[in-house]
Amino acid sequence: MKIKYFQETDTLYIEFRESEVAETKDLDENTLLELDLNENICGITIEHAGERADILHFSFEQVAT
């Protein structure tokens, strides 16, 4: 999983898996969902991310089971 934030365009891209994108769906005007041939989520693009999410306070936590 990779997370990229493009400050110049205020775009957030979250890649869930490295896979060939077969289809891109518009979830709304500023959110794109990328799917592979099996309809698994490959990635999501969020435009105007700074306005829509708390980008400056990002954290990651992996919880052991």
Would you kindly state where each structural domain of the chain is located, as residue ranges?
A: 2-57
Pick 17 or 55 by higher pLDDT: 17
5-53 residue pLDDT tens: 999 999 999 999 999 999 999 999 999 999 999 999 999 999 999 888 8
User: pLDDT at position 56, please?
Assistant: 78
- Say what the pTM is: 0.84
What is the pLDDT confidence band of residue 64, given thresholds at 50, 70 and 90? confident
> How far is CA 46 from each of CA 6, 18, 41, 63, 65, rounded to the nearest angstrom?
10, 18, 14, 26, 30
